[in-house]
Structure 1
Amino acid sequence: MRRSLQTALLLAPAAFILAGSATALAQNKAMPDKSMSHKTISDKALMAKLQKAAPPNVFKGATILNMAPDGSMKVVRKGDNGWTCMDPSGTDPMCADQGGMEWGQAYMSHGAAPQKLGFIYMLRGDNGASNTDPFATGPTKDNNWVKTGAHVMIVGAEAKGMAANYPRSPKADPTMPYVMWAGTPYEHLMLPIR
């Protein structure tokens, strides 16, 4: 998972959360990280950007969240298919199902990963994250920063069993499937898409 998802989750997309996740996010139920600047774009520009974050049929029925200057999230469009799309970092648009949102909430609050599987699309790629420290805020010489192009993420405690046969190296090859944050409660499977 990427710094952007971390940002998204820390800002309320807690997102990426509880049953009624989009509503909770829009009501800013999570504590925003006051140290981060919040990039805002128009709802129209966001919609154009998010259209390529997930397959068209996912985006078409998804709830769309946009970030306000104060870091709170607002519902731009209420969806009906169980997916939520957003780009709180301004660089990493994503769409998550309910399991992905619950996993994000657990990650954001440093809580236990939910048992069920979650799925997150990031078909426009990401801006990078440490592959060893889920809460790193930038690259260092020893935190194995990795940028992954278009990919999907399979998250949640059940994903650990699924990820057992994939590379778990801190120095991931982002062109091949790999386990991100291996050995942490938030480890998940990264599946690049070419």
Structure 2
Amino acid sequence: MENLKIAVSAGVGILLATSAMSQTADVTVDSLMERLDGVAPAAVLENSTLLNITEEGEIEVLREGTNGWTCMYPGTDPMCADKASMSFLQAWMAKETPPDTLGFVYMLLGDEGASNTDPYAEGETADNQWVVAGPHVMIVGSAAGPLLDTYPSEVPEGEGQPWVMWPGTPYAHLMIPME
């Protein structure tokens, strides 16, 4: 469990830094499950490890999962990530080279926005292609490289078209809208 806490704290740290909303210390498994309802398929959420981020930024494991997924509501961007994605998030936060893996993240409740070009942007600027994504999934990890070459690196005009977020960085990943 200690390794999970280290990986998770690194992976969600930037989400906390850019979030306007913190979790309260009295979050329970039931209340978090209610907030996460719809973020991923029910079977993924039902058997996942659940994390709570306290107001102090501490990571609490509310429930150990059995299916290899970790679900959390860090600030305003609820998500469920597989083990490889958690490693990717850890590398991103530490500004290290991501592992040579392929991971999957559900964000079916959408997000509050991020730069499409700068993995560390904390807000919208005139040139960072800020995008608020509705329900989506992400394919992350350095092993996704060849796949990423086949998609645009700017957000397409039409809804529902995949694109590469953070192109040209080690943290490039495929954004797949889910309507």
2:4 corresponds to which residue?
22
TM-score (norm 2): 0.87
Residue 23 of structure 1, CA deviation: 3.9
* Equivalent in 134, 155, 163 of residue 140 of structure 2: 155
2:47 corresponds to which residue?
61
Residue 22 of structure 1, CA deviation: 3.2
Please give the per-residue CA displacement for 1:96-116, whole angstroms capped at 9, x wherever unaligned. 000100000000000001111
1:136 corresponds to which residue?
121
Give me the whole-angstrom Cα distance separating, in 1, the residues matched to 2:110 and 2:12.
26
Give me the whole-angstrom Cα distance separating, in 1, the residues matched to 2:118 and 2:168.
10
* Equivalent in 74, 84, 87 of residue 88 of structure 1: 74
TM-score (norm 1): 0.80
1:190 corresponds to which residue?
175
Please give the per-residue CA displacement for 1:157-181, whole angstroms capped at 9, x wherever unaligned. 0112111111112x54463100000
Give me the whole-angstrom Cα distance separating, in 2, the residues matched to 1:155 and 1:167.
16
Q: Mapping of 1:121-132 within 5 angstroms?
A: 121-132=106-117
Q: Is the 8 A contact 1:32 1:72 kept in 2?
A: no
2:87 corresponds to which residue?
102
Classify 1:24/1:121 alpha carbon distance in 2 versus 1 (closer, same or farther; 3 Å). same
* Equivalent in 113, 117, 127 of residue 98 of structure 2: 113
Q: Is the 8 A contact 2:85 2:104 kept in 1?
A: yes
Give me the whole-angstrom Cα distance separating, in 1, the residues matched to 2:161 and 2:31.
31
- Following TM superposition, the consecutive aligned residue runs of length 4 or more in structure 1 with deviations greater than 2 angstroms are 19-26, 28-38, 41-45, 171-175
Q: How many residues align?
A: 173
Does residue 145 (structure 1) correspond to residue 130 (structure 2)? The answer is yes
Residue 35 of structure 1, CA deviation: 6.2
Please give the per-residue CA displacement for 1:113-148, whole angstroms capped at 9, x wherever unaligned. 111101100000011100011100000111110011
Unaligned runs of 5+ in 1: 1-18
Determine which structure has greater relative contact order: mean sequence separation of CA pairs < 8 Å that are 6+ residues apart, divided by chain length: 1
Unaligned runs of 5+ in 2: none
